[in-house]
Amino acid sequence: MNIIIFGPQGSGKGTQAELIARNHGLAYISTGDIFRYHIKNKTDLGQEIEKYVTVGQLVPDELTNEIVKDRIRQPDCVVGFVLDGYPRNKLQLELLNTIAEINQVIVIKLSDEEAIKRLSGRLACKCGLSYHLIFNPPKKEGICNHCGEKLFRRDDDNPQAVEKRLAIYHQETEPLFDFFKQKRILHEVDGHLAIEAVYQQIETVLGLNSKNETGLHQNS
Ligand code: AP5
Ligand code: MG
């Protein structure tokens, strides 16, 4: 099954996409994580895109589309994948439609006010997991439960970049929903609930039934 997760910044796309992928054996693809990997490792691509990501602008479509095309062709995607952060505009949707069939689409609904609160407490890990100082703290302060690496604040979680990212989401990404609504594969879930409750809504609308649920991601 190929799934897209949409939602404003801080709505929990990464949190939920990782859970769905892990519990159902799907590949997890986050364009944001791929870009951050290149920036951190100072690859040629990383040096080219850093100026966009840090201020909350979209990376140019030609670069983003190439990366997604390559990623979706990797063998782990044959069983299905969860896409987080792509497509974000019309050109990206057009490209996606030529390379993959999407079966289900989730939109996590969250107010901008709540999104901003979430991002101010987020701690990220280079392995892709996200934590929150209050809502989802790691077991050991500042350390990832999963890989043991040090957690960090994202450069683009500053107020100016967050404002820009939210504006782009409303202007360029939300208009894509109509395409999936017409195909009757778009489901909205309430992102204001706790992480486990959001996950349960997603499992229900996708018709999935996971045994593992959110266990590995919890603090207890
Ligand atoms: P990306 O990394 O995708 O960032 P984003 O879209 O801004 O989304 P976030 O990662 O900020 O939010 P999220 O919804 O994943 O929330 P999370 O689960 O972490 O993209 C970054 C940048 O890369 C872009 O700005 C752009 O520059 C570039 N880029 C990426 N894709 C691109 C593309 N396709 N084209 C061009 N450029 C692209 O959760 C947030 C926080 O809330 C965490 O602390 C979490 O623990 C907490 N939380 C989650 N759920 C809950 C809950 N239910 N209750 C309480 N707390 C919760
Ligand atoms: Mg994310």
Query: Hey, what domains does the chain have and what are their CATH numbers?
Result: 2-111+174-217 (3.40.50.300)
88 is catalytic: yes
pTM (2 d.p.): 0.93
Catalytic-residue membership of 36: no
Does 154 qualify as catalytic in the annotation? Answer: yes
Active-site residue, from 13, 22, 71, 118:
13
What is residue 215's predicted lDDT score, i.e. its pLDDT?
52
Give 190-193 contacts, CB < 8 A, sequence gap 24+. Answer: 190/109, 191/7, 191/11, 191/12, 191/108, 191/109, 191/110, 191/114, 192/109, 192/110, 192/111, 192/114
CA of 15 to the centre of ligand 2 (A): 7
Pairing between β-strand 104-109 and β-strand 186-190 as defined by DSSP bridges? parallel
Spans of the chain, pLDDT less than 50:
216-220
Question: Other CB atoms closer than 10 Å to residue 161's CB: what's the count?
Answer: 19
pLDDT value for 211: 55
Nearest Cα residue to 136 out of 146, 127, 123, 148:
123
State the maximum Cα–Cα separation within the chain, in Å, rounded to a whole number. 45
Ligand 2 centroid distance, CA of 84 (Å): 7
The pLDDT of residue 220: 29
